[in-house]
Amino acid sequence: MMFLDINMQTTMDIRKMILPLFIVAANAMELSAEVILPSVFSDGMVLQRGQPVILWGKASPGEKIRVSLNGKKGNGEALSDSTWTVELPSMEAGGPYVLKVNDTEVRDVLMGDLYLFSGQSNMELPVSRTLDLFKEEVASYSNPSIREFKVPKEYSFTKGSDDVSVSEWKKAEPGTSERFGALVYFTAKELYEKNGHVPVGIVNSSWGGTRIEAWLNEDALAQYPVRLHRLRIAEDEAYRGYLGKGERKARELWYSTMDSEDPGYSGDLSWSDPSYDDSGWTTVPLMGNVWGSVEGRAVNGSHWLRKTVEVPSSAIGEEAELRLGCIVDADDVWVNGHHVGSTAYQYPPRIYKIPAGVLRDGENLVCVRVISNAGVPHFVPEKPHKIIFRDGGEVSLEGYWRHKEGTPMPQTPSVTDFFQIPTVLYNAMIYPLSRLPFRGVVWYQGESDVDIRKEYCGMLRSLIGAWRAAFRDPELPFYIVELADFLHESDTYGRMSWQEMRDAQRRAADESDNAWWVMNGDIGEWNDIHPRDKKTPALRVAARILEHPHK
């Protein structure tokens, strides 16, 4: 009995000692429970000066929220749905500061001017695509007070998405600036220089090839019932799953058939091999539609083109750059049998590095396998087609090539782009940002909507109204960049259509309060829907912003 009594007493004493420790640990866990901040609230962020600072996020229901920034403090409490909001008073431009939310720190925060840039590919186009014109300027400029947050591409059929996926704030510095949106970069530079060196932050929420209806919210679709009903069909998850699976399988079969049946791959010697004898191939000019069509009918599938050139002795063994302009549609490229690059669609310029040791004495073979998905395959004229050497010399690749058809194919099976469905980009890439105060919105979109140019003015006005409502800012300025010049002067109908689209963009600005049109139709490249000169329209955007700032 004595033995039992001693153990029972010991157990009770131990419990008395451990219980308070559990209570302390539980309280500590409660105090240090994780606070979740939106992705945009991350190191290097820029907040809008001169307006109340709205902070929000998630935490355990009932958790106390303590916020501090630049000497200003605020408190809040997580609601039953785990959301919390804390407001701090407005602040002047400055920083860097540390934002503290409970035990979470966001470092290197600036107060400055924050803008939302949105649209399609000409808004998304990176600085790296403009370096032919601005390489030295970009390489020599560094400014940590200019920052961009690129919203990841995603779409959602769910209204009221909480957040965008994780991204990061980038600073305008060599090595990083090349990843900025080009219009973003040059606009921010001009605003910084012309507006008293106030820090500039730009949230770039854009996606190439998108239509305006994907950026509208569902309320705005009420006046566009056809688009609303298109949404109703596509929002069925099972339907999307079946359709997507079938379409992906069809494309997989198309490519696997083309590759497996291509004699350029299936023979004893690849057609990209310099020792392959192409003397029986047809000689064709690189430019034009001679090799990509028969009696006016497009020949889709794979095509092989080969050309031999001699390089100067100074270039032998050295690194070089191969340029093939733009190609419709996709390509793989070899130099002397060495694969130097590939591109999956028609718009990017083909700029491929030839590694050191590939170029050799005598003849050098350039081999291109072109894949045509639909339409007539071709090389885009009036683009650079050459090899550029380190000393500045070059060898032209224009003129005649050897050509042989690989695998003739039907057109590539289509794939439904669900990111084009009405509302889905608004839900995923705009609404989650709607509590941020912005100084203005720059909109550059419309290339994908020339076919609905008669409706575009009304739809753009609907977008302006919907976004202002979402951002709770009826005076939010919109700066609308018109479409750049495009298409050959002989394409009368096409050029007329694009001009009608520009007119619709201008009317939308004229018919909306606090909206301004930015001229851009006098700039462009007839053979490239993505003109490289983004600096000129950027300077005009900055001028509009400075002329017509937020009231």
Q: Is residue 129 within 8 Å of 348, Cβ to Cβ?
A: yes
Q: What share of the chain is helix, strand, coil (3-state, %, to 5)?
A: 35, 30, 35
pLDDT of residue 264: 97
Q: Which two tokens stand for residue 267?
A: 């023979």
Give me the residues paired with residue 56 across strands: 85
- C-alpha–C-alpha distance, residues 534 and 543, integer Å: 14
**Burial group, residue 469, by CB count within 10 angstroms (0-12, 13-18, 19+):** middle
- The secondary element (H helix, E strand) that includes residue 507 is helix 492-510
Give me the residues paired with residue 351 across strands: 323
pLDDT of residue 255: 98
Q: Is residue 48 within 8 Å of 92, Cβ to Cβ?
A: no
Q: Is residue 367 within 8 Å of 354, Cβ to Cβ?
A: no
DSSP 8-state assignment for residue 428: I
Q: Write out residues in the chain with pLDDT < 50, as ranges.
A: 1-32
Per-position DSSP letters for 457-472, written without gaps between them: HHHHHHHHHHHHHHTT
Non-local CB neighbours of 374 within 8 Å, separated by 6+ positions: 298, 300, 329, 411, 412
Q: Which two tokens stand for residue 165?
A: 């996926």
φ and ψ at residue 295, rounded to 5 degrees:
50, 40
How many Cα atoms within 13 Å fall on the side-chain side of residue 414?
3
Helix (H, G, I), strand (E, B) or coil at 389: strand
Give me the residues paired with residue 308 across strands: 365
pLDDT of residue 67: 98
pLDDT of residue 33: 59
Q: State the sign of the Cα–Cα–Cα–Cα dihedral 414, 420, 421, 424.
A: positive
pLDDT of residue 20: 46
- C-alpha–C-alpha distance, residues 225 and 231, integer Å: 10
| Residue type at position 32 | S
How many Cα atoms within 13 Å fall on the side-chain side of residue 210?
32
Q: Which two tokens stand for residue 444?
A: 């550059």
φ and ψ at residue 521, rounded to 5 degrees:
-70, -15
The phi-psi region of residue 160 (left if phi > 0; otherwise alpha if psi is between -120 and 50; otherwise beta) is left
Neighbours of 336 (CB within 10 A): 19
Place of tokens 């979470």: 104
pLDDT of residue 15: 43
- Beta strand 53-58 pairing with 64-69: unpaired
Which residue from 440, 498, 504 is spatially nearest to 48, judged by alpha carbons? 440
φ and ψ at residue 485, rounded to 5 degrees:
-65, 140
Q: Which two tokens stand for residue 506?
A: 């201008």
- Measured CA to CA in angstroms, residue 81 lies from 26, 58, 60, 62, 430 at distances of 22, 9, 9, 10, 22
φ and ψ at residue 403, rounded to 5 degrees:
-135, 140
